[in-house]
Amino acid sequence: MARHVLPQPGLGTYRLKEQAVIDSVTSALEVGYRHLDSAQMYENEAAVGKAIRQSGIDRDELFITTKIWWDNLEPKKFAAAVDKSLENFGIDQLDLLLVHWPSPGGEVPMADYIGALDAARARGLTKHIGVSNFTIAQIDEALTLPGGENIVTNQIEVHPFLANRKLVKLCQAKGLDVTAYMPLAVGKVMDDPVLKRIAEAHDASPAQIALAWIAARDIIVIPSSTKRENQQSNLDAMKIQLSEQEMADIDRLDRGDRQANPSFAPQWDE
């Protein structure tokens, strides 16, 4: 297993706002999470920041990620957006800053926003930088651009029904962490007979088996959860050891079932 920049696992906060995200972050920190994943588009950075302050946990112990939306990729807008995120969280420095989506149709040249991303790192506004929803071709391009050599992760959709093998393999070969969002396929893993069967053998849940399978592929997971027991269960999933046969059985569930595919998404890899 490679040494990761990002702590395993993280807490996803997509669709959680105001008191719901405060409660989710609070309980997650209490059970042991230290990696929190947010984004400007989620409109919850200030609430996450509030939960962090209320927790009393030292800032140095936490790994905070946020993402800049595609309408702020032009360099001046990008810089202002980063400042706004820091203000929202009430912190001086992020641990990881991501470009949330590549510029739709290449409207903003990639060199411009990768440069702006790395400028935030150079200014000390974030320790690490990365991208999200980048394809193989886009990763190849980004890594050749000035500042691109500092990219540490590509955050993409990965779950048993969308293994995303080619992209994962490329990122890992280039030394990047892969971060898996929607690792439970928006709950679909709970109804899968193969995952249910393997879960029974491990006295676990299908969700835990899905997370264990992703983690066994050396991928960081950031499941979202509002319930303390599910957060604890997700942490415990990191200890599950699947057999080669079980891994192979789950591998066969891949059917390209993508959950996140907005109109502005890039042309995905097959």
Catalytic positions, written as ranges: 42
Helix axes 136-144, 110-122, angle to 10 degrees: 60
Q: Which long-range contacts (CB under 8 A, 24 or more apart) does 191-195 make?
A: 192/160, 192/253, 194/249, 194/250, 194/252, 194/253, 195/160, 195/250, 195/253
Give the separation between CA 40 and CA 85, rounded to whole angstroms: 7
**Please, how many CA atoms are within 13 Å of residue 74, restricted to the half-sphere of its CB?**
4
Q: Which amino acid is at 62?
A: L
